[in-house]
A and B are shown apart, each in its own frame.
Chain A
Amino acid sequence: MADPMRIRATAQPDGVEVRVLMSHEMETGQRRDGSGNLVPAHFIQTVTVTHSGKTVLSADWGPAVAKNPYMQFKFQGGKKGDELTVTWVDSKGETRTDKAIIN
């Protein structure tokens, strides 16, 4: 269903900057299709980012997050070569996990 997430994690002097681009329709449930029927809501609800087994960010989203969601944040304690894991779960219970190496 979804394309892999694009994750860029860069170690900077004051922390690791993480930028994630996810592939997801983020359907609000308010749009109508060509025949006039409501397209059902289908959107990412939770996102979790972990590093060394520790959660460095968790997010709760609603359908108002834009399609193909983008997220950026920074955390301390990571270094180049470490692995970062990003997981999302959406309103249908579908889920996707991708990993990236901090560079």
Chain B
Amino acid sequence: MIGCRRDFLKLTGVFGALATIGVLSLEEALAQQAAWNKAAFETKSLNDTIKALGGAGVTQSADIAINAPDIAENGAVVPVGVASKIPNTQAVYILVEKNPNSLAAGFRIPAGTEPNVTTRIKMGQTSNVHAVIKAGDKFFIATKEVKVTLGGCGG
């Protein structure tokens, strides 16, 4: 399992974390880490990201609202809200087309929670922001271009 230095460091980090404030047991923290969809966060193109998320393709939808500035002055902190009117919305994904890796964040929406989430993301440059909704087996998408005056990847 320790295939490379990075994995080894991760494990020692976890053992170090036993001493930190945390209610999760070691097993639970490791399980959450293992459940994190690493592949989906390493894809670059929209199509590859959708595939990594389990979709075969996306359909444009007018029932997804993206609330983001037309021009973001600081690419390191861009507020993005996504609201879906698609029935049975189970997950909301925020993708930034021109970031080094496309997927910024995903939110799983259980029954009883509104499919409407807001967060803040980093954008390296002016780019399309895609909101992808998973409802049942289908994936839907809406897109908004956000202009960025100062890129947010720390370069």
In the complex, per-residue mask of A48-90: 1 if CB is within 8 Å of any chain B CB, else 0: 1000001111111111111101111111110000000001010
Q: Is the CB of A92 within 8 A of B13?
A: yes
Q: Is the CB of B113 within 8 A of A76?
A: yes
Interface residues of A (CB under 8 A from B): 1, 15, 26, 28, 30-32, 45-46, 48, 54-67, 69-77, 87, 89, 91-97
Q: Is the CB of B14 within 8 A of A15?
A: no
Interface residues of B (CB under 8 A from A): 10, 13-14, 17, 20-24, 29-30, 32-33, 35-37, 40-41, 76-79, 81, 96, 99-101, 103-110, 112-114, 116-123, 152-155
Q: Is the CB of A1 within 8 A of B20?
A: yes
Q: Is the CB of A30 within 8 A of B154?
A: yes
Q: Given A30-B155, A87-B24, A96-B21, does the pair A64, B118 have CB atoms closer than 8 Å?
A: no
Residues of B contacting A71 in the complex (Cβ-Cβ under 8 angstroms)? 117-119
- 9 residue pairs A–B, Cβ–Cβ below 8 Å: A46-B36, A64-B103, A65-B120, A65-B121, A65-B122, A67-B77, A91-B10, A92-B14, A94-B22
Instruction: Name 11 extra pairs, CB < 8 A, besides A56-B113, A64-B123.
Output: A45-B33, A46-B32, A57-B109, A61-B104, A66-B120, A67-B76, A70-B118, A71-B117, A94-B13, A95-B24, A96-B21
Q: Is the CB of A95 within 8 A of B122?
A: no
Q: Which of B14, B96, B108, B153 contacts A57 (CB 8 A)?
A: B108
Residues of B contacting A67 in the complex (Cβ-Cβ under 8 angstroms)? 76-77
Interface centre among B33, B118, B155 (most CB of A within 10 A): B33
Residues of A contacting B101 in the complex (Cβ-Cβ under 8 angstroms)? 62, 64
